[in-house]
Amino acid sequence: MKRWVNIAIAIVFVMSLLIGCTSKDSSSEASKDGKTTITFFYRWPNEPYKSYFKSVIEEYEKENKNIKIEEVTALNDDYKQKANVILGSKNPPDVFFSWAGEYGQKFIRDGVALDLTKYYEDDTEWSSQLIESQVEFFKQNDKVYGVPLFTDSKVFVYNKEVFDKLGLKAPTTWSEFITVLDTIKKSGTTPLLLGNKAPWAAAHYVTALNQRMVPKAVLDKDHSYNQAAFTDPGYVQALEKLNELRPYMNENPNASAHDETRNLFLGGKAAVIFMETLELTFLKDASFKWDSFKVPTIEGAKGDQEGLIGAPEGFMVHSKSKHPDEAVKFLKFMMNKANGERLIKETGLASVVKGAVNSNSATEAEVKAMDMIIDSGNMAIWTDSALDTRIFKPYGDGVQALLGGTMTPEEVMKAVQDAAKQVKK
């Protein structure tokens, strides 16, 4: 084992050297041909996103002959690992992707992200086109440190044919939801699908249930860096609500990945699934009619009963960038309305540019989802993004154990509380 650990460390070290050399070589070439090189580090090396970003870069370079955009990409968890290396290197990327929440906030606290407030204030013609509620996710102490690219929420999507056959309507309250699931189960159809092989999937359930069960002021404090306590009884009650759903889910949710269960739903193998709004594009392949409903209100609960869960994702400029003006100019180009319309049309990602998600660029369902996000008074960020990783690890692991029947809600929250105490030290 030790041998493999040493090999892994060596690989990371070599990678950092290679990346550093690449950056230096690029700067050298840039000086020779008179072009300024902007390094763009993002998390979509896969299609259809890869083609979209390449085309945007090509268009930008055509309009800006003196700029060259150099891409560095990695997918999701690999991105996080790679970011740990290159964002702290001597030659960091000028522009880099960031999730909202604690992941991005730590870059702000550590001085990695550049304060972009003056760019927002100096060009209100551009900044006023961005949905304000989504820009808020990239603020700290009233200063802006990022530019959101797209936004995303989550809804329950259901098979209308199953519902119609059983005479069911979309539930609006928790008690109605349980009755609907019970009726579907008795009919012989799997009521609800969850693929929690990666713990973020069930964490989205937890996010929604915490929002409904815990007072917003308490939730906001527990999501704040170095202030988390998680002692409110609503957290245990939220997990008890998740336990109420367990009998209606597929067998062993922890053994399946989310995309696997999504494919089962598309194949008509279940009645309901919890899906991100950016996934609605996959429903074009569904062989049945479908619709969606928000997380039901929970009678008597003390949390927000109308809010949504979700968050935008976007980009930051590195504080050590030698070309911050050019980097921001590139982001402004990427976040114009024309590219926003292309973003939703070609990738299914809902641009935060006002009016970009419209009847010409998106499906009726995608427009409906964006309107829902814009109209929402409160959007609770995903638990896995909101929390320090030292707190989310026992939370995510605990929820997996809860779904597996080896931990109780009280035991899960005790582990989370203990982790929160350690983070405060």
State what percent of residues in the chain have pLDDT above 70: 92
User: Which are the contacts of 140, defined by CB distance < 8 A and separation ≥ 6?
Assistant: 105, 108, 109
In this predicted structure, the answer to whether residue 349 has a pLDDT above a threshold of 90 is yes
For the chain, count helices (H), then strands (E): 19, 12
Amino acid 32: pLDDT: 55
In this predicted structure, the answer to whether residue 360 has a pLDDT above a threshold of 50 is yes
Question: Per-residue pLDDT tens for 33-75?
Answer: 789 999 999 999 999 999 999 999 999 999 999 999 999 999 9
Nearest to 405 by CA among 182, 247, 205, 279: 247
**Across all residues in the chain, what is the average pLDDT?**
91
What's the rounded Cα separation, in Å, for the pair 10 and 4? 10
Higher pLDDT, 425 or 277: 277
Amino acid 14: pLDDT: 37
Strands 270-276, 350-351: pairing kind: unpaired
Residue with tokens 């922890």: 254
Residue 6 φ/ψ, nearest 5 degrees: -65, -40
- Token pair, residue 35, equals 């072009």
pLDDT tier at 13, thresholds 50, 70, 90: very low
**Sign of the C-alpha dihedral computed for residues 288, 289, 293 and 299 taken in this order:** negative
What's the rounded Cα separation, in Å, for the pair 390 and 420? 8
**Domains of the chain, residue spans:** 2-151+312-377, 152-310+381-424
What's the rounded Cα separation, in Å, for the pair 241 and 339? 41
Beta bridge partners of 69: 38
In this predicted structure, the answer to whether residue 152 has a pLDDT above a threshold of 70 is yes
The pTM (predicted TM-score) of the whole model is: 0.86
The pLDDT of 163-169, averaged and rounded, is 98
What's the rounded Cα separation, in Å, for the pair 137 and 231? 25
Question: Per-residue pLDDT tens for 206-246?
Answer: 999 999 999 999 999 999 888 899 999 999 999 999 999 99
- Token pair, residue 62, equals 């055509």
- Which CATH class name applies to 152-310+381-424? alpha beta
Report yes or no: 398 and 235 within 8 Å, Cβ to Cβ.
Answer: no
Report yes or no: 370 and 379 within 8 Å, Cβ to Cβ.
Answer: no
C-alpha 193, offset from chain centre: 20
What's the rounded Cα separation, in Å, for the pair 265 and 192? 9
In this predicted structure, the answer to whether residue 277 has a pLDDT above a threshold of 70 is yes
Residue type, 114: L
What's the rounded Cα separation, in Å, for the pair 29 and 61? 16
- Token pair, residue 292, equals 């969606």
Topology match between the domains 2-151+312-377 and 152-310+381-424: yes
User: Which are the contacts of 331, defined by CB distance < 8 A and separation ≥ 6?
Assistant: 95, 147, 315, 317
What's the rounded Cα separation, in Å, for the pair 397 and 297? 27
Residue type, 394: P
Amino acid 376: pLDDT: 85
The pLDDT of 295-307, averaged and rounded, is 96
User: Which are the contacts of 129, defined by CB distance < 8 A and separation ≥ 6?
Assistant: 335, 336, 337, 353, 354
User: Which are the contacts of 75, defined by CB distance < 8 A and separation ≥ 6?
Assistant: 43, 44, 45, 46
Amino acid 224: pLDDT: 87
- Which CATH class name applies to 2-151+312-377? alpha beta
The pLDDT of 299-318, averaged and rounded, is 96
Amino acid 164: pLDDT: 98
Nearest to 116 by CA among 83, 138, 132: 138
